[in-house]
Amino acid sequence: MGQSLEAAATTAGQVPELALTGDVARPARLTVPDLLTWPQYETDVSFECATSGVQYHRFTGPLPHDVLMGAGPRFAPARRKDRLRFLIAVSGADGHHVLLSWAEIDPDFGQARVLLAVTIDGTPLDRAGPQLVLPQDRCGARHVSGIDTLHVDGGYTTWT
């Protein structure tokens, strides 16, 4: 079995970075300390893990909506429905991938309480990288550890 993300980052002497890419005006590379500049939210989560049963954790971190709005997604702000065509691909350093819709995280639509966690149970994730946390999910399949990419995709600009 390979080493943990935290051990790999420590061994390499590198701090994990999260790349904001895609249909955004201001692509960026962010570390966990960078994510602390957005408002922080706290949530208690329980989810069923297929291999180790029910897990209970407390996470803190910013909302991906806030972070992505800071990157300037390329939709027409005056046209609320324009946001509905945007998708967010989340990738972890371990190869795990998850796809979210913009509407799922947008306060005008689903307003799901998704977090880019910077702590787990009070422990900072500086060396392991942020985690995608979806408290509303019953199982932890969409939980992504060591996020290395948030890619925004606006899809088609016109429908044919």
Encode pLDDT of 9-57 as tens digits. Answer: 444 468 899 999 999 999 999 999 999 999 999 999 998 877 888 889 9
Task: From residue 11, give the alpha-carbon distance in Å to each of 7, 58, 104, 111, 128.
Answer: 6, 27, 37, 38, 12
Cβ contact 19:34 at 8 Å = no
Cβ contact 28:71 at 8 Å = yes
Q: Domains of the chain, with CATH numbers? A: 21-153 (3.90.420.10)
95: left (phi over 0), alpha (psi -120 to 50) or beta: left
What mean pLDDT comes out for the span 63-72? 96
Residue 71 DSSP SS3: helix
Cβ contact 24:40 at 8 Å = no
pTM: 0.84
CB within 8 Å of 71: residues ≥ 6 apart: 20, 24, 25, 26, 27, 28, 152
Among the listed ranges 44-53, 95-104, 119-128, which one has the minimum average pLDDT value? 44-53
